[in-house]
Chain A
Amino acid sequence: MENELYVKIETEAELVLLRPLDLFVRNLIQQLPAFSNAEDVVDNVELAFNEAYTNVSMHAYKSKQKGPVRIEIFVRHNYLEIRLEDYGESFNPDEIREPDFENVGESGLGLWFMRKFMDDLLYKSEEGGKNVMRLIKKFPCSEGGLNLNPL
């Protein structure tokens, strides 16, 4: 499937890049006609990306051991995909428990926000230590199902 738009950023996963990258992603999505009248959806995608990048820079790579991250944004025919690849510590999203909303703690909301605000979240840890997270958001008002590209 051909991309309507493709962007790739490769850098070290430094927390100091969180805000510049976040704003880049937000501004890019705002330029897409499909998201032009959906400011709340733009907010949600920005938050999901923010959580994913924070997770890579703070948890996949522990604070003293930085590593590379590749961020790719694909605009397909009816959805947006943000893909983050890192070589840090992997995790299994299925083993992460839902937050206890009767007693919300100081951490543990990030993955839940990503799932809540995106239409799909896929995570794969590959041989060679590469971890890939895919955040999928269908265009607001688009019809039809998602026909996701394989990794």
Chain B
Amino acid sequence: MEIEKRDGVTVISTDERLDAMAAPHLKETVRKMSEETSTKLVIDLAKTKFIDSSGCGALVASLRTLIKNHGDLKIARPSAQAQTLFQLTRLHRVFEIYDNLETAIKSFG
């Protein structure tokens, strides 16, 4: 997992697999970030080929944590596998999802 800051927006690039091994680390990282209020976060899934229920849960938990602290989370570049899961679980209506990382960053305005 890589973290960088661009134009006041934090970008987390997740690794190849967002599963039960990776999910706790993502949740904890976002929880720590959220201590700073109004965190603007993009989770870039470009490298993530595989996501499971734990990964989806970590994204939901991250969004909730940030919103509670007046922040927000957007998702960029999900794989076809991730998009399928988001559609089936209707998470595509919960998250703002972008095909392009730059557009996701700029969407914070």
**Is the pair A43, B53 in contact by a Cβ cutoff of 8 Å?**
no
Render A120-136 as a binary contact track against B, CB cut-off 8 A, 1 for contact.
00000000000000000
Task: Verify if B89 is at the interface (C-beta below 8 Å from A).
Answer: yes
Query: Which of the residues B20, B50, B60, B91 comes within 8 Å of A54, measured between beta carbons?
Result: B20
Task: Verify if A5 is at the interface (C-beta below 8 Å from B).
Answer: no
The number of residues on chain A lying at the interface, defined by a beta carbon within 8 Å of a beta carbon of chain B, is 25
CB distance from B7 to the nearest CB of A (A): 29
Please name all residues of chain B whose beta carbon is closer than 8 Å to the beta carbon of A43 when the two chains form the complex: 81
Query: Which of the residues B53, B90, B94 comes within 8 Å of A110, measured between beta carbons?
Result: B53
**Is the pair B21, A19 in contact by a Cβ cutoff of 8 Å?**
yes
Task: Verify if A116 is at the interface (C-beta below 8 Å from B).
Answer: yes
Task: Verify if A34 is at the interface (C-beta below 8 Å from B).
Answer: no
**Is the pair A106, B50 in contact by a Cβ cutoff of 8 Å?**
no
Q: How large is the interface on B (under 10, 10 to 19, 20 to 34, 35 or more residues)?
A: 20 to 34
Render B81-100 as a binary contact track against A, CB cut-off 8 A, 1 for contact.
10001001111001000000
Please name all residues of chain A whose beta carbon is closer than 8 Å to the beta carbon of B17 when the two chains form the complex: 19
**Is the pair B89, A109 in contact by a Cβ cutoff of 8 Å?**
yes
Report how far A89 CA is from B17 CA in the complex, Å. Answer: 27
Given A15-B21, A19-B17, A109-B89: A47 and B57 interface contact (C-beta under 8 Å): no
- CB-defined A-B contacts under 8 Å, sample of 17: A15-B21, A19-B17, A19-B19, A47-B52, A47-B81, A54-B19, A54-B53, A54-B54, A58-B20, A101-B89, A101-B90, A105-B60, A106-B61, A107-B53, A109-B56, A109-B57, A110-B54
